[in-house]
Structures are given as C-alpha cells and as structure tokens.
Amino acid sequence: MALTGLEIYMLLPRTNCGDCGVPTCLAFAMKVASKQASFDECPHVTDEAKEKLGAAGAPPQKLVTIGVEKPLKIGNETVMFRHDEKFYNPCGIAVLVRDTDDVARKAQKVKALSFERIGQVIEVDTVALECASGDGETMKAAATELNQSLAGMPMVLIADSSELLAASAGALAASRPLLWERGGPSDALIELAASSGLPLVVEGDLEKCAADAQKAKDAGIEELVLCPGDVGPKEGLQFLTITRRAATQKSYRPLGYPSLIRVTSEDPVAQSLQACHYVYKYAGIVIMDTDQPEYILAPLVARQSIYIDPQRPVQVEAKIYEVNEPDEKSPFLITTNFSLSYYSVFGEVDGSRAPARILAVDTQGTSVLTAWAADAFGPEQIKKAIEKSGVFDQLAEGYRRPVIPGLVAVISGELSEEIGQEVIVGPQEASGLPRFLKNEWPKLVG
Amino acid sequence: MAVPDVKENFSGTINEVTIGATSEEGGTRTSTVTIGGETGYPMLGFEAEYPHPPAFALEISTAGVEGWHDECRKHLADVAGDLGAWAAKCEEWGADMICLCLDAAHPDNEGRSPQQCADDVKRVLEATGLPLLVWGTDVDEVDNNVLPKCTQAAAGENCLFGTAKEDNYRTIAASCLADNHKVLAEAPSDINLSKQLHILLRDVGVDLADMVMHPTTGALGFGMVYIYTTIERGRIAALSGDRLLQQPVLVNIGKEIGRVKEAVSPAQADPQWGSHEVRAPLWESASAISYVESGAELLVLRNPEALRQAKTAIESMWP
Ligand code: SF4
C-alpha cells in the first residue's frame, strides 16, 4: 500500500532532530513517499509505526553502494519509464580487465575514458577485474595495483570460486568491491561477504537469483546485485525488465536489487550497441570488454541522456559568457539557455580558441528552433536579453553586431530594427562556428 | 523460488503498414516492407508479438551529398551524382527501402521543377525494386507544387509520402488519396500534436491505418532523449487502445548525425575520442538502436556502414 508523504509524516516522531540526514521529519517523509529513503533510516520510529507502514516504508529496489572514495550508487529505481518520474541513479559503465593483462597499461587506458559534455563529466566509473590466471594471489596483486592506480575506482571482482576471490576481497575490503563468483554465490562466499560487509552478485535465472538473494539476505547481506549470467541481448533485456518490474510494480523483495550485465559479443561495434541497449533498459552496471573510447562514447552519452530529469529541462544561467578572454572587438554570439545549445556553441568557440562573448537567452531551457516556434526566442526577447546583459557597453562601435543562429535567419531584419544595429546571420549549426569565426567574421568587420 | 508474474497485456496493437506494391499488387516493386503489428512494449518476446522487425531506409538526395559529413560521403563518392545508381547501390547495401529526398526543389538549392522531381521519382523507381519513401522540402508552397506531381508519377507503387504537417496537410493528403500512397505525418515531439494531426488527416479522408508518424528526430546526445520519451508515451497510449497513436513511428536519423561533434570531428582534432572512422557510423547506428528501444519501426539512415551495424544489432535483439 502506497502512503502519501503526509501519512508517513504522521507516523514519525516529528521532532525534526535531523538524525536521518534530512533536516525535518516532513522532508524525510517526502523522501520515503517517493521511495528515495527507507523508513528505518529514522532511528526513532516505533515498532508500531514500522508495522503500520510495512512494505511501503522501504524503497522497492535496494540502493547498493560500491567503492568508497568515488562510490557508485545504483538501484533505488522506482519506474519503468523515465517520464513517470525519472531514472535516479546512473548505471555504472565498467571496463573489463583480466588479471593476466598488463594491468598498469589497462589502468592508464581506463583513466583516459573521461570526457566533458554539456558541462558534465561523462566517464567510465567502474572497473571489473576478472581472475583469468586461475590464481588468487595473482588476482590480488592485480586488484591492488588497479585499485591504487585508479584511485579507488569502484571495482567488481570476478572469479570462478570463492577461494580465488578471498585474497582480493580481503586486500580491498576497505574499498568496498562488489564480489562476483561465477555461477554463485556459494555458501562460502555468502559467509565471506557477510563477515566483511561487502556487496555481492547473485547469478542465474530469475528463480535462482530470487532464491539466492533470499539466502544471502537471511545471512545478513543487505546489498546485492542480480545478474543473468552470460546471456545475449534478448535474454538480457527480458531479465532486466522482469526484475525491475517485480521490484517496482510487485514490491517483490527477493528481486528488489539493481542488476549487473556483461556484454557478451566479441565484436566491439556490437558491444557498443548492446551496451546502449542495457543502459536504456534497466541495467545497474554494464561491463564492456573494450577500452577504446570510440566504442565507449556512445553508451556514456546514452547514460547521460536517459538519466536527465524529464521534469526539468537542462539549462544554463541566462547571461553573457566570456570565452577565451574577449575584448571590445570580439564577436558576440547569441543562443538559447538550453544547455545543449549553449554547450554546443561554447564547445566550438572554445575549441577554435577564438575570443568571443556568448549570450544565453532565457528560453526556459528550450532549443533554438523550439524556442523560436514558441515565441521565446524572437526579436523582442533577444533585444531584452541584450539590454539586460549590458553587453553593448563592453563592445566597441561597429562591433555591437550580434551573430544569431542561422536557423532563425528570418528574424534578422526585425531584430536589427529593434536594436538599431546590424545583425549577422551565423551558421545553421554550432559546428560551422570555427570556420565562421576564422574566415567570415574578420571579413565582416573589415 | 516462484517469481511473480509481471507480464503485461494490452488491448491495443500498433497498426501494420505495408509500403510498396509488387506486380501482383499493381506496382513494380520486387519487395515490400511491412512495419508495426507489435502488441507490447519494444522487444519483450516473453509477453507480446513482434511480427516485423524495424525496417531501414537509406536516404538519397536529388541535391547530392553537398553538406553531408565526410565519413558518410566517402561511401557515396561514386554514386552521389546519379540518383539511379545511388538507389541501386543502397539496395545492394541491404536497405529495406529508399528514402528519396527532393532537396533540389528547395529554393535555396536549384529550385528543381515539379516535373523534374517527378522524373527523379521515376528514375529511382526504375533503378531499384525497393519500396520508396519520398520526402519533400519542408517548404510548404514548394511541397504543394512538387508532391502531387510525384505521387502521380509513382501511382500504383504504394509509396510513403511526407511530410504532412498541421499547417500543411491538405494537398499531400489529397494527392496520396488520389494515387493510393501512405502518408507520413510529422508533428514536433508531442503526442497531443500528433493526435491532432492524425485527426485532421482522418477528417480529409486518410485512413488512420495509412499513416506513419514522425515525431521529428534528434541524434543521440542531441535531443534524442526528448523524442525517445515522446515515442514511449505515445506507445503506452497506443497499446492502451488510443487509435490516434497506433501508427508506426519513423525517425530520420542520417541527417542529424552531422550536428554531433562526437560523430563528425576528425581524430586529429579530438584524439581523446578515438577512431573517427569508427565513431561516425557508430553514432548513427547507436542513435537508431536508441529509437528502436523506445518503439520506432522505420529508421532512415545515410551511412551504409551504420545500416549494416544497426541491422546486425537488431537481429541479435529482436524477439
Ligand atoms: S531522524 Fe526521525 S525524528 Fe529525526 S528528523 Fe529524521 S525523521 Fe524526524
């Protein structure tokens, strides 16, 4: 039974002591209602209240934390479609390393898989180490080295038996790795995870995962990750969909955990496309067997996209941005405050090393064409934004000529009348800016 | 351990739409394409029916490949000047359909006349046995002059013609009705706008079953996710029985790829992103896969390598 925030609030002590990590009981109740916090995170609730709340008091899918320094938090998802709320915790994208690889070199490669895009860092944030040597000590040495050179990047330790995992798990316990015994977990590994407090993978079909999850939970392990084993993209999607539905729609606890999936294809293109498939459809961690950026970039952008909050357009502050130290004779470009529009322009200007000013007009985070069609990026709005920014005071006579996106070339005449200055029509796409700034702009200003 | 049954059953089905007509059906196509027919969310073989995998069209343009990005152009150098050869090549590359864009009719280009455009359509129909999607210029007056000639030139071939928009649908609807073609209905990323347009088209006589919808398109990382969500919303309504949203979905990806820096920036400029030769087609195929995840059934691409990649991936995923 789902309770409203207010109903949950009534069950709390209402002392606003803050011990739950949220300043007030009401705020905490709202978090529980939206399934973002568990009722037991308030240390002061009575048993009676707990009983009343029952299953509604805990998120349907457990939050699992891997790593310590820059932890990967997965799970706690509540919906099947992002527009129903949003997807909360971006999945981990992991690169597979074998303990027989040149680990130092691999670590360098993994480190390089970090990029900046529309003002955010998108990167491989997890590493998976597989025991291919068949020797626990070799794996431990590799795990230790990887952990050091990747500064504690969250790690999945993979081996065929708990004996092989034991040494690495012990050595890295403080870094909170995720333990994955292939086909497991065996009783021995459950014991190991329980005593060391480490998260654990349960692998197999749905029934086995549910049974093993129950068993591990009974042994005191709270944080589990479900895995269907080495399956193709059809079975993979099926597993990820059913586990997510069982948790979020049926509150079925034994499958109330995030999932991990390893891309099985050997062809790197297929790897990349299958990784995207799993990023969209419900994976908690996707393990890829490639360290080449050209194959990893698409899944990283897919993840960045699907975890955007659909209720809140991603926007930048509407103001003047100065790039590469512009002076009074530098070009003055206009775009919207939709972050994708702004960062496309910014990226091109920055990349071309040309000094310029960019005015991000407040279109409430909509793109150039959408905003124009909605009358939010017309001559009047742009004029107002220019006036408000005071940018003309920073520009010399003859340089107060805004460059507008080529897509809205039709407004140039009217805008020119409004502001009493010549308006320059820029390229249709941001990608045309480097050439424009280099070749056309100098000609235009003589 | 018994796991709860989470299967979902729906009352609605996505319309099946066939494009192309063989000689038995009064046309000259050697193959036809049928899309749609799904009874559930994308690719869930354990609970629904998926009678037709997504279809892929390769785009060819009457204006050639001017402005197309280099990694795509390099495949087309030999054929881009000859529509017929280009279309035949697309068939060889494994396209299910040809998307003929009448860009040359655009006033910014040469302003090709309606008769010339109709001849272009004929030439392509002669050069390939694949079904045809004909895409206008997005300039209303031009489309209204050009498209009727083209639907006539392709009469009997059961093509898909686009695009019909809220403020310009009458002429194209009438021409498609007269010459028995399917209509591509375009509304910008909003299911209510799509519904409205479908009602308008229905009111002038186009059967709801003869429409394909285009919610507009953005590349992966370039607005894709907004449209992804629009398609998902539409799909949920369609499967729940909303007949105004049961039309299969087309996305036009090829031309969006040129906007994405990650896809077009050469390796010298952005070495951190790795091989450009890999990135360019992969961005296109990854965008295609993204849309299939949300429900799209007909995908228009430009790069033959992206076509190969996307088709291979779909084979491994489609139930
Ligand atoms: S710990 Fe409990 S009592 Fe204290 S503020 Fe949080 S919810 Fe209220």
Letter for the amino acid at B23? S
Cis peptide before A185 (omega within 30 of 0): yes
A207 and A294 part of one domain: yes
Q: Are B92 and B126 in contact (CB under 8 A)?
A: no
User: Which long-range contacts does B265-270 make (Cβ < 8 Å, 24+ apart)?
Assistant: B266/B70, B269/A351
Distance from CA of B124 to the nearest CA of A (A): 30
Q: What's the gap in Å between A29 CA and the centre of ligand 1?
A: 9
- Determine how many CB atoms are found less than 10 A away from the CB of residue A238: 20
A229 and A337 part of one domain: no
Q: Are A119 and A316 in contact (CB under 8 A)?
A: yes
Q: How far is it, in rounded angstroms, from Cα A26 to Cα A8?
A: 9
Q: Which residue, judged by its Cα, is nearest atom 8 of ligand 1? A: A25
What pLDDT shows up at residue A56? 63
A103 and A31 part of one domain: no
Q: What's the gap in Å between A87 CA and the centre of ligand 1?
A: 26
CATH number at A440 reads: 3.40.50.11600
Please report residues of A whose CB lies closer than 8 A to that of B285. Answer: 269, 273
A312: in domain: no
Domain limits at A135?
Answer: 63-306
Mean pLDDT by 10 residues, chain A (446 residues): 77 89 89 82 84 72 96 95 94 98 97 90 97 96 97 97 96 97 95 96 97 96 97 97 95 95 96 98 98 97 95 85 92 92 87 90 88 90 94 92 93 93 91 88 83
A165: in domain: yes
A314: in domain: no
Please report residues of A whose CB lies closer than 8 A to that of B309. Answer: 269, 273
Q: How far is it, in rounded angstroms, from Cα B164 to Cα B297?
A: 19
A341: in domain: yes
CA distances, B230 to each of A306, A340, B187, B233 (Å): 13, 18, 11, 5
Letter for the amino acid at A135? D
A30: in domain: yes
Domain count along chain A = 3
Final residue before a domain boundary, out of A306, A331, A347: A306
Strands B298-301 and B55-61: parallel
Question: What is the interface pTM, i.e. ipTM, of the complex?
Answer: 0.97
Q: How far is it, in rounded angstroms, from Cα A5 to Cα A12?
A: 11
Query: What's the whole-number mean pLDDT along residues B215-219?
Result: 93
Please report where in the chains the tokens 């017309």 appear, as a residue.
A378
Q: How far is it, in rounded angstroms, from Cα B199 to Cα B137?
A: 23
Strands B33-35 and A120-123: unpaired
A315: in domain: no
CB-ligand 1 contact for A119 (6 Å cutoff): no
What pLDDT shows up at residue A197? 95
A70 and A188 part of one domain: yes
- In the DSSP assignment, the letter for residue B4 is P
A287 and A325 part of one domain: no
What pLDDT shows up at residue A1? 45
* Domains, chain B, ordered by start: 17-317 (3.20.20.20)
A147: in domain: yes
Q: What's the gap in Å between A50 CA and the centre of ligand 1?
A: 14
Q: Report residue B141 as tokens.
A: 């007056």
A271 and A411 part of one domain: no
Q: Which residue, judged by its Cα, is nearest atom 4 of ligand 1? A: A17
Q: How far is it, in rounded angstroms, from Cα A189 to Cα A184?
A: 8
User: Which long-range contacts does A342-348 make (Cβ < 8 Å, 24+ apart)?
Assistant: A342/A316, A343/A117, A343/A118, A343/A119, A343/A316, A344/A429, A344/A430, A344/A431, A344/B261, A345/A430, A345/A433, A346/A321, A347/A430, A347/B261, A348/A430, A348/A431, A348/A433, A348/A434, A348/B261
Final residue before a domain boundary, out of A306, A335, A368: A306
What pLDDT shows up at residue A2? 61
Say which range, B50-59, B116-125, B252-261, has the weakest mean pLDDT. B252-261
- Counting from 1 in the atom list of ligand 1, the atom nearest the Cα of A18 is 5
User: E-assigned strands of A47-162?
Assistant: 63-66, 72-75, 92-98, 114-117, 120-123, 126-130, 155-159
A417: in domain: yes
Share of chain B above pLDDT 70, in %: 100
Letter for the amino acid at A6? L
A70 and A24 part of one domain: no
A137 and A274 part of one domain: yes
A67 and A52 part of one domain: no
Q: How far is it, in rounded angstroms, from Cα A284 to Cα B59?
A: 37
CATH number at A117 reads: 3.20.20.20
Question: 3-class DSSP state for residue B165?
Answer: strand
Q: Are A336 and A377 in contact (CB under 8 A)?
A: yes
CATH number at A37 reads: 1.10.15.40
Length of chain B in terms of residues written: 319
What pLDDT shows up at residue A48? 81
A343 and A425 part of one domain: yes
Say if A339 is an interface residue toward chain B (CB within 8 Å).
no
What pLDDT shows up at residue B293? 98
A269 and A250 part of one domain: yes
- Over chain B, what is the mean pLDDT? 96
A86 and A53 part of one domain: no
